[in-house]
Structure 1
């Protein structure tokens, strides 16, 4: 049996703000657009879905809990960047909140941690020595 990861969907508070944030930070093109859901096409064929939190319950039967302002969700997106400095600068320019600056991590990556406008954790990283 082959199981592949193709899509990650995040519940977001304000869809337009989240789409603008991810487009500004990474310039990923929109692949799907509806009034409550947008899917961005990532390099390599994966996609990132941004689903308005209140509408998310249409699929699950439950609306995800609201993340209080300044708090973090339980989601972490871990992204490898070929140009880590540029990725960090793009996130900062897009308005990401820095959680932990770029540093060597014990698992062999150099990584910086940020939060998106809805409190989802984003990590941009590269292998140490790359």
Structure 2
């Protein structure tokens, strides 16, 4: 298969709030702005789309379940950061809730976990130095 991942789309309850959050938290350039859909250009050619939940259902034939208040979605957006402290502060200032402090993970990253205002999990991580075997 010759597919490559270029776009992740999140179905959101409140599009303006989600757009404001991702713009403030990450500072990405917004490339699409409609009444029901917005899109950001990420580094390295990736894109993140935010789709108003009901309109998302028009494309799929089914409206996704709403995430109950205080619950988390099954989505995790995982980002490597050059400055975890600065980027963590940006996330919380923009309205993210910190779920887990920075911890060393078995897969070789240090990672901190957050939730966006919609309940999607955002991870900020950095690679640990290669350890000698």
Same fold (TM over 0.5): yes
RMSD: 1.1
Q: Which residue of 2 aligns with 1:36?
A: 36
**Shift in Å, 1:19:** 0.5
Partner of 2:66: 66
Question: Whole-Å Cα distance in 2 between the matches of residues 105 and 79 of structure 1?
Answer: 14
Instruction: Give distance in 2, aligned partners of 1:52 and 1:101.
Output: 30
Aligned length: 130
TM-score of the pair, normalised by structure 2: 0.94
- Equivalent in the alignment of 1:93: 93
Cα separation, 2, equivalents of 1:117 and 1:109: 25
Tell me which residue corresponds to 2:77: 77
TM-score normalised by length of structure 1: 0.96
Q: Give unpaired runs (5+ residues) of structure 1.
A: none
Aligned counterpart, 2:45: 45
CA distance in 1, matches of 2:100, 2:51: 26
Question: What is the CA deviation profile of residues 56-89 of structure 1, one whole-angstrom value per residue up to 9, with x for unaligned ones?
Answer: 1011000000101000011110011111111111
Residues 96-125 of structure 1 show CA distances to partners (whole Å, capped at 9, x for unaligned) of: 011111111111100010111111110010
Q: What's the secondary structure of 1:5's corresponding residue?
A: coil
Deviations 1:31-68 (A, max 9, x none): 11110000000011100000011111011000000101
Q: In structure 2, the residue corresponding to 1:44 is in which secondary structure?
A: helix
* C-alpha distance in structure 1 between counterparts of 2:47 and 2:27, whole Å: 13
Query: Which is greater in Rg?
Result: 2
* Separation in 2, partners of 1:101, 1:54: 34
- Alignment partner, residue 21 of structure 1: 21
